[in-house]
A and B are shown apart, each in its own frame.
Chain A
Amino acid sequence: MPLDTSAYSLALLRVDGRRWNELRRIHAQIRTQAAADGSSYLEMGHTKVMCVVTGPSEPGPRRGTTGGAAAGASKAAAEVAVSVVVAGFSSVDRKKRGRGDKRNLELQSTISNALAASLHTHLFPHSVIQVSLHVLSQDGSLLAALINAATLACVDAGIPMTDYVVACTAGSTSTYAAGDESADPLLDLNHQEEQELPGLTVATLGETDRVAVLVCESRVQVGRLEGMLAVGVDGCKQVREILDRVVREKGKRMVLEGTVVKGEGLEDMDLD
């Protein structure tokens, strides 16, 4: 089904009724699996992903290697191992993607590199941080959702990091072929828009403008890129606020329940 671009120019509303700079509903939870070191569940619109973090922990002796300690002993920093599993029922067409699927591998290495840059892995020598991501439902912005879920799970696991790595997508209102220089940028593409329009995924380090991930898999005029990037980075800041609120709510609840000892705070230090 072609995207009704003419309707956009008339009402400035997208197919799902959003304006150009609106995010879809983001719903997130942390600590969804009690047995895991860290876990999260994240919905960005109808894209739903789940993440479980195990570690940092030292893998036991590996089979096939002599002297298990030698296997990872020379590592000065923790390794971030990411695995992405896309459920067969997650998209409209039921497609089985194997373990060696190229798209999957690329998602995994992108996420792994982004997290490894932010996490303080040097604090955990000889160990592995295992991040397992499960895609339950896909409706565009998959990479962004995966990065956000992984970040939340790492926060839940208590792994020190420089800042949240938050991601979001940005696109443009007309196709590459249309060559429309006056096209508006769009924030947070859904599946339909992702199919029709040029788009990119951008991840930033917290509130700063430092870009951690930038992936663009479609053709787009270079003139439109700056606008898209600016909108994407702005979206990341909004996403950070949302994720931060989720973590704070959870922390507040844990303090109230007495699971965590209340912090001493700095406010009383302001007085003297």
Chain B
Amino acid sequence: MPITITAPKAVRPSYATADNASDDSGSDSSSDNGADLEGDIPMTSSSRRKEDKSYSIVTPGEVITDDPQWMRGHGTYVSASTAAIVSSVAGTITRTNKLLSVRPLRARYTPEVGDLVVGRIVEVQAKRWRVDVGGSQLASLPLSAINLPGGILRKRTETDELQIRTFFAEGDLLVAEVQQLFSDGGAVLHTRSLKYGKLRNGVFVAVSGMGGGGGVVRSRRQVWTMEAANGAGPLDVVLGVNGFVWISKHVETPEALVAETKSATTGITNLEESVSTTMYSSQNDRIGIETMREIARIRGVVTALVENGLRVDEDMLVRGYHEAVEMALLSGGGADDIYLGGERGEQLAAALTGV
């Protein structure tokens, strides 16, 4: 009795062909990025790489070069017997001056200092939390690296340690920034800004992040507020560099709240308390049906983008959302039609890439 798994669909028309085609014809970017390659030492290139060289894919165990002038970077190792630089992952070669590294086709997120990440608390310890950010190790968030209630910058006290679970408990989602990296790859996060902190009033989507293979890319803006269609009001979108995405109803940021209360001439202690009570609340606000629907639509756009191998960034997501709203109106189902899987997703991707 044969077991069959249906063959995958035929190869889709590639959306990026136009700019690839121009790249293929002798892109000579090497001369202007400062790579100073003197000496006429020929590179060894196996016959296998020759045939694929326009794509420059290397696979594990493939010798990249045995020229000692190069330094090995991520995704490579030096073979013990021949001292050649060998690829250890399947991916594309990148080089920075004399440093050769291989960017994997896909991998888990590797944290870098300054990254904006969305994470989930998995463990509460005495003076810190352990946060799942989709990397190979859990990141840690020390108690001293969060905004403690009652004054933005104050030292932590023993009382804070005792009520550590009132700030974040297991399963809570938060947005934070990578503050520091350990040599073994572990990351330390901080939320010492009013833009960071606990997440509520929204929905979480995990897609692949900066590790490679599409998904969220590092860009100028990872967090923005967009006006949703169909009377849903403004929505917040947080694209964590680690590929975790948060879409929520827009609530007045604490800064705005502070400014408001200041103008209303309330006491300074009063307003700080009001800020801190909302900051660590796990209670959702009232969210209207329209808002929920539009949040779900944006989530559908994110998954459709990923399924069709497109990057997820502000521009793509905003355009994709408007396209999706149009598609829903045209489909006859009206605004309630938020389905964006299968052919609808492909249609969306095609519309976005202009194929």
Contact = CB atoms under 8 A, between A and B. Distances in A.
B214 interface: yes
B94 A254 contact: no
Nearest to B53: A267
Contacts of A159: 89, 107
A266 B43 contact: yes
Interface in B22-48: 23, 28-30, 35, 37-38, 40, 42-43, 45, 48
B65 to A, nearest CB: 6
Given A137-B3, A160-B77, A252-B52, A259 B309 contact: yes
A158 B209 CA distance: 13
A127 B52 contact: no
A205 B60 CA distance: 11
Interface stretch (A2-10, A13-21, A52-60, A217-225): A52-60
A158 B123 contact: no
Main secondary structure of the interface of A (DSSP, over half): loop
Given A162-B77, A162-B88, A258-B14, A244 B59 contact: yes
B138 interface: yes
A88 interface: no
Interface in A57-80: 57-58, 60-61, 67-69, 78
B213 to A, nearest CB: 6
Contacts, number: 208
A158 B89 contact: yes
Nearest to A258: B16
Interface stretch (B5-13, B155-163, B224-232, B335-343): B5-13
A162 B307 CA distance: 31
A242 interface: no
Contact of B15 (A207, A253, A258): A258
A46 B2 contact: yes
B84 interface: no
B103 interface: yes
Interface stretch (A95-103, A108-116, A118-126, A188-196): A118-126
Given A257-B309, A258-B15, A260-B212, A158 B20 contact: no
Contacts of A261: 92, 103
A264 interface: yes
Contacts of B77: 120, 160, 162
B216 to A, nearest CB: 13
B136 A124 contact: yes
Contacts of B282: none
Contacts of A255: 20, 55, 57, 92
Interface of A: 29, 31-32, 34, 37-38, 41, 46, 48, 55-58, 60-61, 67-69, 78, 89, 120, 123-127, 136-137, 155-164, 205-207, 244, 247-248, 250-270, 272
8 contacts: A48-B3, A58-B138, A254-B105, A260-B105, A262-B92, A266-B43, A267-B56, A270-B43
Given A29-B8, A69-B125, A158-B107, 13 more contacts: A120-B77, A161-B61, A161-B88, A163-B60, A205-B61, A244-B48, A256-B17, A258-B16, A262-B23, A262-B92, A263-B103, A264-B92, A266-B43
